[in-house]
Amino acid sequence: MNKHKMITEKGNSRMLMLFGQLEKLNRESMLVDPEIARQITAKILHLIQTQEKTRKEIVSKGSSGMEVILATLENTQDLQSILNILYILNELLTVGGGRRIGVFVSKGGTGILLQLVISASKESPPSEEVMLQLHSVLAKVGPKDRKFGVKARLNGALNVTVNLLKQNLQNYKLLLPCLLVLQVYSSNTVNAVSLGKNGVVELMFKIIGPYSKKNTSLLKVSLDTLGALLKSKTNAQRAVVHVPVLLYIYQDWHRNDTRHRHILIRKGILGCLKNITNIKLGRKAFIDADGMRILYNTSTECLPVRTLDPLINTSSLIMRKCFPKNRLPLPTIKSVFHHQLLRVPAGGPVAQLYNQPLGMDDVVDESDNNEDAEAENDMENEVEEKDHHAGNDDIETDINKLRPKETHSRPFEELKIYERFFMELSEDFQVFNFDNPKKGVTATPAAPKSHRPIIVPTTQALPPKNPTECPHPAPVPALDLDTINITKDQDGCGDHTHSRPHPGAGLEQELVQGLERVALDGAGPQVGGGGGNKHKRQPPILAGGVAARLGGEGEEMLAEDWAEEEESSEEGVLHVPDTALLLPLHDPDLYVEMVKSTSSVPQFSEVAYPDYFGHVAPTSREHILERVYGVQSPLPPFRTKIFQDIERLIHPNDILDKVVYDLDIQSCPVVDGGESLKFNSQFESGNLRKAVQVRKFEYDLVLNSDINSNHYHQWFYFEVSGMRVGAPYRFNIINCEKSNSQFNYGMQVLMYSVQEAISGRPRWVRTGTDICYYKNHFSRSSIAAGGQKGKSYYTMTFSMTFNHKDDVCYFAYHYPYTYSTLKMHLQKLEALRTPQTYLREDVLCETLGGNSCPLLTITAMPESTSNDQICQFRNRPLVFLSSRVHPGETNASWVMKGTLEFLMGSSPLAHSLREAYIFKIVPMLNPDGVVNGNHRCSLSGEDLNRQWQNPSPELHPTIYHTKSLLQYLAAIQRAPLVFCDYHGHSRKKNVFMYGCSLKETVWETNISATSCELHEDLGYRTLPKILSQMAPAFSMASCSFVVERSKEATARVVVWREIGVQRSYTMESTLCGCDQGKYKGLQIGTRELEEMGAQFCVALLRLKRLTSPLKLRNNAHLLDVDSDLMETRCKVSSTPSTYLLEDEEASFMEEVDYSAESGDEPDNDPNTADPHDNHLSDSESNNHRDSLT
Ligand SMILES: [Zn+2]
């Protein structure tokens, strides 16, 4: 120890002495005697080579060693001294990692070396040893110096290295360091272009070659250099001719590198191909050189060896990129169905859609073939672009748009007609019999059901004001009404004719057999759930009680057939699952009744079994599928799916391409017996447009666009039958539009089996394996992609084996909830009403499609007609709720169902709630969208939740009148305490809220806070905070209270700003599941959604107590909310709910801790914010994806 220390100190002192001498020399003049400098540097070199500690000394803090050495290097002309110092640097920088190089770079070392390169190159001939040593040091420094490429270019050093290489192609000793330096130069894009001009691409092709055991590191560096150069388009063009060579070399290494010792070389070759195929010419060259087959075959051979995954990954990436773009198998991307608007606003989406020139192909752009869309074609950058980049740009920075809107544009006289929707505010109950409320009076206030909608004359009767506005009225819907010709009359049992072409006697026979099988099989096992409710077999199909369907294709039966069947075979009884106990709001017969009065654009004449039978939430847990290998990993299942897709090109003869379902042709194709699945979605909320059998058990499915639109595909709901038990079916929905999906994060599709249902398990279950969502090879027209060219669609794929023979199964994006279901639930809810409950159902207005939009009023009846009671009744604060403005967000309806069921319940808590508030509820803001299977829009082809600023009474009646109700309330000084619009969220987990806060928005931006006085009550955080403590699915961390520009016309922002409701929210429920709380790791189900709706109510009661404690303390029965809560939790089963309130202990906060919350801003979802998806803007950065693979 001591000895060691002594030696070190001795070394140090010698070193210091040597540096002192060297420094002195630098100060004086090196020219005096080069020999001295030579000796000193040699001694330093010797010390460094023999004593590790001395190396540390030079680069330690406070040491001037490095400066002295560099100064000497800069000053000396002596070759030997230069070499000595280069040796010293090589020794020094070989170990010690980045820190030593950091010191070197910070002292200006890079620049000095590059200068030396220039001056050395002027010697003739240049000293090979100096060049060798210089490049060795540069090769070490380059990768750590971020400005290296720029410095080299500015110093003019690029070409020195290039020339050196050109002259020394056989000098392997010099070649390697030079190539290493060149590799760093090339990572700078400007350098890459310049080097390309100087022939470096060609130079690299001289070095790389077929399999050889010699000089593999040279080869590796050359390939990496080439790969970096080829990121430049012009360089890639230079290399296009070499694509066959690269493929040949790749195959050669693949064949000969049997022990996989040179994976990096093989990957390097693929890296070059990957970059060349970024350009169109490169892709063409790749295809022409049979690249698809070569990479497909080599990859297949690599499959068994796990360590070769990076090669398979890059290969599949290249193959996906080069896969020729296909055309969606459609005549047009416009929706199959068209709803003729009475007035088509010029410039609106519908006018744009139908003003396209006749015969114009909107499925693909012709321009697609002309231009490369490089970034788009690179499959690596599959990011949710908008979300990532809009982020901060989207926050509202105009302070005036964050302040309450002062001007009330509408005169009160105009709003006065809405008075009749608020009878409770003037009701005096003078004719109501409180002693015997059951009997009530003729005009009982609780029962009346106003069926008088607000009429918007223009939509009802008047012809278009300006017919020229729509010069090219669209053709009639493609679905030929002659095939199913039904005339509805008011009683719903009108005349009908049925002239659908008969698919043939054999098929008819099969249908009947199939039907009986379903019925009789069901008779075997007793209907589960006890007893079995033997309904007479009903035609579960209607529209005038006409056509019936079970088998899944064109086998409607006439009403007479049903009648005959009922008479002739008593055995033919369809077991309708008895769900009455479990589903108090469901009634199949009532459902059918409801459907009869529902208007759909396609004039659906069938009912889907799940909606008819009802859905009982399964009791088993449905876990979010684990994503073992990350999104779009090249590993199974994704890889398998991709390879199957590529095989379509490799083995075209295996592809059937058989259309088995097609709404675009008048008679859907008739499928032959047994060989293909049968598809159908001609029922409420159904939206399958086409099904193509690709292989024996694989189908491509195309979704219909929203009506009067040409895009918005995400929601799906369709029926499948004719399946083989145990067969491995694969389904691909090929025209998805979003760039990512929760299907990549463990979400499953929903399936409903009729066989399961009649065996007593009527339920939607999460199902499907090998679920992936990825960009596919179907090109997407710029018309439907916001003008962007070169876009592709995405495929959502899942695999499925069916368990039952002769089953009819349904698949859906999320738990369906139709408009007719809502109507049924409302009727059943009314039956639940107790005399103490005030319930009124009004028709707010008619929709464009002729459906009525219900408005509910729920509160408690006053206890008596005493002045106090009536006064309390009328002065209850209002809570305004709405839901389902977006038809694809069915979860919003399930949450609403939970809310309604709780509000109408008999629990003391529900009663307290009714006594505390008047609830105004529009449970379905977009009935037309729901009915017609839209995902996003109404029949006007627009997103209704972007119309709140200036809704049109003609085009957006539900929004116009809902807003009017709120304007009316504001005008009479009764603006609601809470406004909440229920939605579903497709990309995030949990349930959460968006609210509006001036302060939080300003904080997010750079608006100077002093520029405005920010006084804001923090009350908007109370409700979400309460929810986060009570509702297990709710996550405060996901909430946001920032006002975005893109949301300025949404309900939340408009009600906040224009109506002045501080607590104005959007409540978003996940479509997938939860990643926190009690349901962490589980997919969301209807039970959890309904529970959420109930918890929302309970939270409102809590809010009431927090907002007006004094007032509440005067009401003894309202005071004890907590004990009420406990009570309810303990005996939930007494309420007819299908969910259970939790017994989880929640300690309520009396005060909202605001400061603690301000940091938890939204979108920390690790799934959506995949760190690998961050764009790197620094052109010098390495390809970050490569490091993953
Ligand atoms: Zn929504």
pLDDT digits (tens, 9 = 90+) for 618-668: 989 999 988 655 444 555 678 888 899 999 999 999 999 999 999 998 776
Q: Which of 57, 380, 889, 1068 is catalytic?
A: 1068
User: Which pLDDT does position 97 carry in this prediction?
Assistant: 67
What are 812-848's pLDDT values in tens digits? 999 999 999 999 999 999 998 999 999 999 999 999 9
User: Which pLDDT does position 365 carry in this prediction?
Assistant: 77
| 959: pLDDT strictly greater than 70 | yes
C-alpha–C-alpha distance, residues 1147 and 1114, integer Å: 23
C-alpha–C-alpha distance, residues 474 and 354, integer Å: 6
User: Which pLDDT does position 114 carry in this prediction?
Assistant: 94
Section 113-136 average pLDDT: 91
pTM > 0.85: no
Kindly indicate the confidence band of residue 1065, based on its pLDDT and cuts at 50, 70 and 90.
very high
Residue 121: closest CA among 135, 131, 112: 131
C-alpha–C-alpha distance, residues 421 and 919, integer Å: 12
∠ Cα 965 1047 381 (to 5°): 150
Kindly indicate the confidence band of residue 522, based on its pLDDT and cuts at 50, 70 and 90.
very low
984 CA from centroid of ligand 1 (Å): 5
C-alpha–C-alpha distance, residues 232 and 235, integer Å: 5
875 CA from centroid of ligand 1 (Å): 32
User: Which pLDDT does position 393 carry in this prediction?
Assistant: 76
1140 CA from centroid of ligand 1 (Å): 26
Q: CB count, 10 Å around CB of 476?
A: 11
Section 693-699 average pLDDT: 96
Q: Which amino acid is at 854?
A: P
Section 57-61 average pLDDT: 76
| 1181: pLDDT strictly greater than 50 | no
Q: State how far the alpha carbon of 209 is from the alpha carbons of 205, 212, 227, in Å.
A: 8, 8, 15
686 CA from centroid of ligand 1 (Å): 19
User: Which pLDDT does position 748 carry in this prediction?
Assistant: 96
Instruction: Find the range with the poorest average confidence among 346-355, 560-569, 896-905, 1034-1043.
Output: 560-569
Section 742-764 average pLDDT: 94
| 311: pLDDT strictly greater than 50 | yes
C-alpha–C-alpha distance, residues 628 and 643, integer Å: 19
Kindly indicate the confidence band of residue 1089, based on its pLDDT and cuts at 50, 70 and 90.
very high
Q: What is the DSSP string of 514-537?
A: HHHHHHHHHHSSPPTTSS-B-PPP
983 CA from centroid of ligand 1 (Å): 4
- Strand residues in 908-1033 grouped as ranges (E): 918-922, 978-985, 991-994
981 CA from centroid of ligand 1 (Å): 9
For residue 796, count CB atoms less than 10 angstroms from its CB and return exposed for 0-12, middle for 13-18, buried for 19 or more: buried
| 386: pLDDT strictly greater than 50 | no
Portion of the chain with pLDDT greater than 70, in percent: 75
Instruction: Find the range with the poorest average confidence among 79-83, 694-698, 999-1003.
Output: 999-1003
Bridge-based pairing of strands 698-703 and 729-736 is parallel
Q: Which residues contact 708 (CB under 8 A, 6 or more apart)?
A: 335, 338, 339, 341, 349, 350, 353, 937, 939, 940, 941
Does the active-site annotation cover 1161? no
User: Which pLDDT does position 534 carry in this prediction?
Assistant: 36
Q: CB count, 10 Å around CB of 969?
A: 22
985 CA from centroid of ligand 1 (Å): 7
| 156: pLDDT strictly greater than 80 | yes
Residue that wins the pLDDT comparison between 1109 and 868? 868
Q: Where are the alpha helices (DSSP H) in 128-258?
A: 128-141, 148-155, 158-167, 172-186, 189-197, 200-207, 216-229, 233-239, 243-256
1035 CA from centroid of ligand 1 (Å): 18
887 CA from centroid of ligand 1 (Å): 8
Instruction: Find the range with the poorest average confidence among 109-113, 121-125, 1013-1017.
Output: 1013-1017
- Strand residues in 960-1009 grouped as ranges (E): 978-985, 991-994
338 CA from centroid of ligand 1 (Å): 23
814 CA from centroid of ligand 1 (Å): 14
Chain centroid, CA 282 distance in Å: 32
Phi, psi for residue 801 in degrees, rounded to 5: -120, 135
Taking the CA of residue 916 as centre, how many other CA atoms within 13 Å lie in the half-sphere pointing to its CB?
A: 33
Q: Which residues contact 1120 (CB under 8 A, 6 or more apart)?
A: none
The answer to whether the beta carbons of residues 567 and 549 sit under 8 Å apart is no
What are 178-222's pLDDT values in tens digits? 999 999 999 999 999 999 999 999 999 999 988 988 889 999 999
| 38: pLDDT strictly greater than 60 | yes
User: Which pLDDT does position 971 carry in this prediction?
Assistant: 93
| 553: pLDDT strictly greater than 70 | no
Kindly tell me the sign of the dihedral angle through the C-alpha atoms of 506, 509, 514, 517: negative
User: Which pLDDT does position 452 carry in this prediction?
Assistant: 52
398 CA from centroid of ligand 1 (Å): 25
C-alpha–C-alpha distance, residues 57 and 61, integer Å: 8
975 CA from centroid of ligand 1 (Å): 24
Section 976-995 average pLDDT: 96
889 CA from centroid of ligand 1 (Å): 6
Both structure tokens of 522: 């069901």
Q: CB count, 10 Å around CB of 1179?
A: 13
Angle between helices 280-288 and 263-276 (to 10 degrees): 120
| 458: pLDDT strictly greater than 50 | no
The answer to whether the beta carbons of residues 716 and 680 sit under 8 Å apart is no
Mean per-residue pLDDT over the chain, rounded: 79
Instruction: Find the range with the poorest average confidence among 284-298, 366-380, 1067-1081.
Output: 366-380
| 95: pLDDT strictly greater than 80 | no
User: Which pLDDT does position 453 carry in this prediction?
Assistant: 53
Q: Determine if residue 406 is left, alpha or beta; phi over 0 gives left, psi from -120 to 50 gives alpha, anything else beta.
A: alpha
What are 161-182's pLDDT values in tens digits? 999 999 998 888 899 999 999 9
458 CA from centroid of ligand 1 (Å): 28
982 CA from centroid of ligand 1 (Å): 8
735 CA from centroid of ligand 1 (Å): 20
886 CA from centroid of ligand 1 (Å): 5
